[in-house]
């Protein structure tokens, strides 16, 4: 079986022919690499080279002029990164992809490329903390306007689009409170007005949702999370049409952020991708059991998990997500001190930010990932100060549940009689 694609950098990826006939798990393992071109090496070689030699002066000049394809400097492209990029493009059903040093590097490289002073972004009201901070603190400083809208309300969106609206930006599910955004509806509104849609698919991964198939222009990933999957790297990706990705590579990445990925990181992400389907299945299976356990517990006030029928957007989740994922948000029916005691009492589940790792991770958004919002902003953006975010890991479900149960017991509340 050969799933290798064109060896020339950044060339249009052929989705037709062989690649469409195999499943996603197969693509995640094989796509865009042909071992026979690399001494039969099962894994792609690591090209730890900052620069690439030219056959002669003319060839170098032609490459710089964009008239000849090839790698010349690893801030712009690198053969190891190229395999990851082509593989991710195939998984996301996009023409092309670009690897970056982090998720935030992917977001900033894409936005800096598309925006100029006077333009406006419409963003969903709930965003990952550093994305919010980039919009609030960096973009506004350079004369870009930001409007935060509840994108579950399509009328509200239509009302705030103006001639200056350049980008509509959202996450689904959103970090940290698990709101969903209807990708297809938002993108069809944006398309009519020639506005670029950017969807952060970090929580979903292409195994769960493929925004390009639903009309999105650009898909963002923090590869630090599920794609890498082992908590041992920082990386990002942007996927989209080749013309757009080429621009982000040659403007945003090359000249504005310079935040390129290391080939070593690309290798680790490709290693992670090989088990992405298995991991997402197990994360989702465990998370549904944890969410159900929390939902029936006396000390839990609310649970937000798209796989629970009580989630207000359960039917959208069923349409838009192949699995419900590994992330849960919940609030305790307890004081702030008791919530803290609950988290401090966990023994297996680790107190840490980040998500998508093998280890279950718990954190408090208001004091950690979303502390860049003021309390008033958190309130306006629907991020409760008592919200707890749990990234359900790959451990045995019985062990995760019993850790949660023993932490609840530390709160020392009188047990309700079961009679
Ligand atoms: C973590 C995260 C980011 C930022 O990614 P980094 O790799 O940490 O730069 C962006 N979006 C979402 C939804 C995230 O969870």
Summarize pLDDT for 119-161 with one digit per residue, the tens.
999 999 999 999 999 999 999 999 999 999 999 999 999 999 9
Q: Select from 225, 325, 361 the residue to mutate for testing ligand 1; criterion: most ligand atoms less than 8 Å from CB.
A: 225
CA of 111 to the centre of ligand 1 (A): 15
Q: What is the pLDDT of residue 5?
A: 38
Tell which phi-psi region holds residue 78, choosing left (phi > 0), alpha (psi between -120 and 50) or beta: beta
Q: Edge to edge, what strands does the sheet with 96-100 contain?
A: 96-100, 236-240, 218-222, 196-200, 165-171, 120-124, 145-149
Query: Mean per-residue pLDDT for 277-302?
Result: 98
With tokens 């999105």, the residue in question is: 216
What are the residue numbers of the active site? 75, 128, 200, 225
Q: How far apart are CA 319 and CA 181, in angstroms?
A: 12
Q: What is the pLDDT of residue 415?
A: 60
CA nearest ligand 1 atom 6, residue: 103
319: helix, coil or strand? helix
The model's confidence at residue 19, banded by pLDDT at 50, 70 and 90, is: low
CA of 130 to the centre of ligand 1 (A): 8
The three state secondary structure string of 187-224 is HHHHHHCCCEEEEECCCCCCCCCCHHHHCCCEEEEECC
Of the candidates 1, 252, 266, the residue with the CA atom closest to the CA atom of residue 139: 252
| CATH (residue range 11-273) | 3.40.640.10
State pLDDT tens for residues 331-351. Answer: 999 999 999 999 999 999 999
Q: Measured from the CB, is residue 172 less than 6 Å from ligand 1?
A: no
CA of 198 to the centre of ligand 1 (A): 14
pTM listed for this prediction = 0.94
CA nearest ligand 1 atom 7, residue: 103
Q: How far is CA 64 from CA 72, 75, 246, 328, in A?
A: 8, 14, 14, 48
State pLDDT tens for residues 239-275. Answer: 999 999 999 999 999 999 999 999 999 999 999 999 9
Query: Mean per-residue pLDDT for 172-184?
Result: 97
Mean residue pLDDT across the chain = 93
The model's confidence at residue 20, banded by pLDDT at 50, 70 and 90, is: low
Q: Measured from the CB, is residue 108 less than 6 Å from ligand 1?
A: no
Residue 200 burial by Cβ neighbours in a 10 Å radius (0-12, 13-18, 19+): buried
pLDDT above 60: residue 2: no
Q: Measured from the CB, is residue 222 less than 6 Å from ligand 1?
A: yes
* Fold held by 277-412: 3.90.1150
With tokens 């982090």, the residue in question is: 102
Q: Measured from the CB, is residue 219 less than 6 Å from ligand 1?
A: no
Axis crossing angle, helix 397-409 with helix 276-295, rounded to the nearest 10: 30
| Least trusted range by pLDDT, from 9-18, 37-46, 343-352, 394-403 | 9-18
Q: How far apart are CA 102 and CA 88, in angstroms?
A: 15
Domain ranges of the chain: 11-273, 277-412
Q: Measured from the CB, is residue 356 less than 6 Å from ligand 1?
A: no
pLDDT above 60: residue 368: yes
Q: Select from 101, 102, 103 the residue to mutate for testing ligand 1; criterion: most ligand atoms less than 8 Å from CB.
A: 103
Q: Select from 130, 268, 391 the residue to mutate for testing ligand 1; criterion: most ligand atoms less than 8 Å from CB.
A: 130
Residue pair 182/318 in contact by the 8 Å Cβ criterion? no
CA of 55 to the centre of ligand 1 (A): 40
Measured from the Cα of 224, ligand 1's closest atom is 7
Of the candidates 237, 280, 220, the residue with the CA atom closest to the CA atom of residue 84: 237
Q: What is the pLDDT of residue 383?
A: 86
With tokens 């939902």, the residue in question is: 295
Q: How far apart are CA 280 and CA 208, in angstroms?
A: 8
Q: What is the pLDDT of residue 413?
A: 73
Query: Mean per-residue pLDDT for 205-209?
Result: 98
Q: How far is CA 244 from CA 98, 258, 271, in A?
A: 10, 17, 27
- Select the more confidently predicted residue: 11 or 207: 207
Query: Mean per-residue pLDDT for 208-217?
Result: 98
Q: Measured from the CB, is residue 236 less than 6 Å from ligand 1?
A: yes
């Amino acid at each position: 079986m050969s799933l290798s694609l064109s060896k020339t950098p950044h060339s249009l990826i052929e989705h037709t022919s062989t690649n469409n006939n195999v499943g996603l798990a197969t693509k995640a393992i094989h796509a865009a690499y042909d071992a026979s071109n690399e001494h039969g090496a099962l894994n792609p070689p690591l090209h730890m080279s900052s620069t690439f030699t030219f056959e002669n002066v003319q060839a170098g000049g032609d490459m710089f002029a964009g008239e000849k394809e090839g790698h010349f400097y690893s801030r712009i492209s690198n053969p190891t990164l190229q395999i990851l990029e082509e593989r991710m493009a195939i998984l996301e059903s996009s023409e092309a992809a670009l690897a970056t040093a982090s998720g935030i590097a992917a977001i900033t490289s894409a936005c800096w490329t598309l925006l100029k002073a006077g333009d406006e972004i419409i963003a969903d009201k709930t965003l990952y903390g550093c994305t919010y901070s980039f919009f609030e603190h960096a973009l506004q400083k350079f004369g870009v306007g930001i409007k935060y809208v509840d994108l579950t309300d399509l009328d509200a969106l239509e009302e705030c689009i103006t001639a200056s609206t350049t980008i509509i930006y959202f996450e689904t599910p959103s970090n940290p409170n698990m709101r969903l955004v209807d990708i297809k509806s938002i993108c069809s509104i944006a398309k009519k007005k020639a506005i670029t849609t950017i969807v952060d698919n970090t929580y979903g991964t292409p195994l769960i949702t493929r925004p390009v198939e639903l009309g999105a222009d650009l898909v963002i990933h923090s590869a630090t999370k599920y794609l890498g999957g082992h908590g041992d790297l920082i990386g990002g990706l942007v996927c989209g049409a080749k013309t757009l990705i080429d621009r982000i590579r040659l403007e945003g990445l090359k000249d504005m952020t310079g935040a390129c990925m290391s080939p070593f990181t690309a290798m680790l992400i490709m290693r992670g991708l090989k088990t992405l389907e298995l991991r997402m299945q197990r994360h989702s299976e465990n998370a549904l059991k944890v969410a159900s356990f929390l939902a029936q517990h006396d000390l839990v006030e609310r649970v937000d998990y798209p796989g629970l029928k009580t989630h207000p957007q359960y039917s959208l989740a069923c349409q838009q997500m192949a699995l419900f994922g590994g992330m849960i948000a919940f609030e305790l029916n307890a004081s702030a001190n008791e919530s803290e005691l609950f988290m401090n009492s966990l023994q297996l589940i680790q107190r840490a930010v980040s998500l998508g790792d093998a280890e279950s991770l718990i954190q408090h958004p208001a004091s950690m990932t979303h502390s860049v919002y003021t309390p008033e902003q958190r309130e306006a953006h629907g991020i409760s100060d008592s919200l707890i975010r749990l990234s359900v890991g790959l451990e045995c479900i019985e062990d995760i549940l019993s850790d949660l149960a023993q932490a609840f017991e530390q709160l020392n509340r009188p047990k309700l009689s079961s009679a």
